[in-house]
């Protein structure tokens, strides 16, 4: 895949760079942003000329629909630098497609490919010094769209703004993660917006997650809303279980987001001759496997961390601790995927795209 740049774009560069003030060794995830951002406005049915401009706050009407009706979507992806100082993206076509699927579900306009991909390429060319070399370092990319149209009337806006902001990141380590299996709260429901990266999905998780935090759990494993018997996602990540030597993960659905990391791990595991079964996984199966000693691993899968190992879970008041393994499959898969992303290993899948 080759990314074409946009011919008609306004570029206004920052007069000074903030990069000298950033300590790249002590970054906390998602708090520091680069010097520039991409902006493209949509007005009455047309996308206007995009621009790259200095990163800065902007003016927006207090009645904009994003504030009142939550019309907002986003993506999360990363850029990596190889030993030759080339910058690479990982399966950006998947993020682009998913962004527009989210847009359709939220009655927002689809963003043209040249604005999303071409704009991202041009932004990354300007910000390439912010992508640091070495495993663990990356530049987190946050494309998003908000409804900027005015009026406290509950109907879709006709004005939108698409933006891309960039945040340098070090390898993501969340500490030991214990999870609570949801018995009452739900992340998503059939017919709802769980398959979209819609902002409201995440704010709806904050309260149940806060309650879980108060009980000593970092995250929630979400179950299906109708019966709470099927294991679906872990926090804001897809989730895998290893029982004996087989990896299990639920099929994506209206309630389960189609993660790029999830599907890449499935393909990688298959290549490594690891058994993978994509099928609904029941809470009862997990509890039984924990009780009879066949449950080996649980891990979340997402762009920020690649894999996030889970050390134990609570269900119906009982805590189940997972074994401490010398060679977890989760970390072996993470290593393989990272090697492809940082161009340390041949990319036989054709997933990486050079900027």
Q: Which is nearer to ligand PLP, 9 or 108 (CB)?
A: 108
Q: Which is nearer to ligand PLP, 42 or 342 (CB)?
A: 342
In the complex, least distance from residue 240 CB atom to ligand PLP, rounded to whole angstroms = 12
In the complex, least distance from residue 205 CB atom to ligand PLP, rounded to whole angstroms = 9
Chain-centroid distance, C-alpha 335? 18
In the complex, least distance from residue 29 CB atom to ligand PLP, rounded to whole angstroms = 13
Chain-centroid distance, C-alpha 337? 15
Written as one string, the DSSP assignment of 16-46 is S-SGGG--TTSPPTT----SEEEEEEEETTE
Side-chain-facing half-sphere of 55: CA atoms under 13 Å: 17
In the complex, least distance from residue 179 CB atom to ligand PLP, rounded to whole angstroms = 14
Distance between CA 16 and CA 35 in Å, rounded?
8
- Residue pair 60/128 in contact (Cβ under 8 Å)? The answer is no
Q: Is 85 left (phi over 0), alpha (psi -120 to 50) or beta?
A: left
Q: Which is nearer to ligand PLP, 148 or 238 (CB)?
A: 238
Torsion of CA 113, 116, 118, 124, to 10 degrees: -160
In the complex, least distance from residue 160 CB atom to ligand PLP, rounded to whole angstroms = 20
- Residue pair 90/1 in contact (Cβ under 8 Å)? The answer is no
In the complex, least distance from residue 45 CB atom to ligand PLP, rounded to whole angstroms = 29
Helices (H), the chain: 65-69, 92-105, 113, 119-126, 199-214, 260-271, 283-291, 329-341
In the complex, least distance from residue 172 CB atom to ligand PLP, rounded to whole angstroms = 12
Q: Which is nearer to ligand PLP, 64 or 195 (CB)?
A: 195
Q: Which is nearer to ligand PLP, 124 or 234 (CB)?
A: 234
Q: Which is nearer to ligand PLP, 118 or 259 (CB)?
A: 259
Q: Which residues bind ligand PLP (CB under 6 A)?
A: 76, 197, 233, 236-238, 257, 259-262, 302-303
What the block records as the tokens of 284 is 């009862």
Q: Which is nearer to ligand PLP, 75 or 114 (CB)?
A: 75
């Amino acid at each position: 895949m080759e990314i074409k740049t946009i011919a008609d774009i306004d570029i206004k560069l920052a007069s000074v760079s903030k990069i000298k003030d950033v300590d790249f060794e002590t970054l906390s995830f998602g708090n520091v942003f680069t010097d520039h951002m991409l902006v493209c406005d949509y007005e009455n049915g047309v996308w206007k000329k995009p621009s790259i401009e200095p990163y800065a706050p902007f003016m927006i009407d207090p009645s904009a629909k994003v504030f009142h009706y939550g019309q907002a979507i986003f993506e999360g992806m990363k850029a990596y630098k190889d030993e030759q100082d080339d910058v690479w993206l990982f399966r950006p076509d998947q993020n682009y497609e998913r962004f527009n699927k989210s847009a359709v579900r939220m009655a927002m306009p689809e963003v043209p490919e040249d604005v999303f991909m071409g704009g991202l390429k041009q932004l990354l060319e300007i910000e390439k010094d912010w992508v640091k070399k070495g495993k663990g370092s990356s530049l987190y990319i946050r494309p998003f769209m908000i409804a900027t149209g005015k009026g406290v009337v509950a109907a879709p806006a006709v004005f939108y703004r698409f933006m891309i902001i960039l945040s340098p990141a070090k390898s993501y380590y969340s500490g030991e993660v214990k999870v609570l299996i949801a018995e009452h709260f739900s992340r998503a429901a059939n017919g709802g917006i769980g398959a979209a990266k819609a902002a409201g999905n995440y704010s709806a998780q904050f309260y149940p997650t806060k309650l879980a935090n108060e009980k000593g759990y970092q995250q929630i494993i979400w179950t299906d809303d109708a019966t709470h018997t099927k294991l679906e996602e872990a926090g804001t990540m897809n989730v895998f279980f290893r029982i004996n030597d087989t990896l299990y993960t639920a099929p994506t659905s209206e309630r389960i987001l189609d993660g790029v990391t999830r599907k890449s791990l499935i393909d990688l595991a298959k290549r490594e001759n690891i058994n993978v079964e994509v099928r609904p996984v029941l809470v009862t199966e997990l509890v039984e496997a924990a009780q009879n000693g066949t449950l080996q691993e649980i891990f979340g899968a997402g762009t920020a961390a690649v894999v996030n190992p889970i050390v134990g879970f609570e269900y119906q008041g009982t805590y189940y601790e997972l074994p401490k393994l010398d060679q977890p499959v989760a970390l072996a898969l993470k290593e393989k995927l990272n090697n492809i992303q940082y161009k340390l290993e041949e990319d036989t899948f054709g997933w990486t795209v050079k900027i």
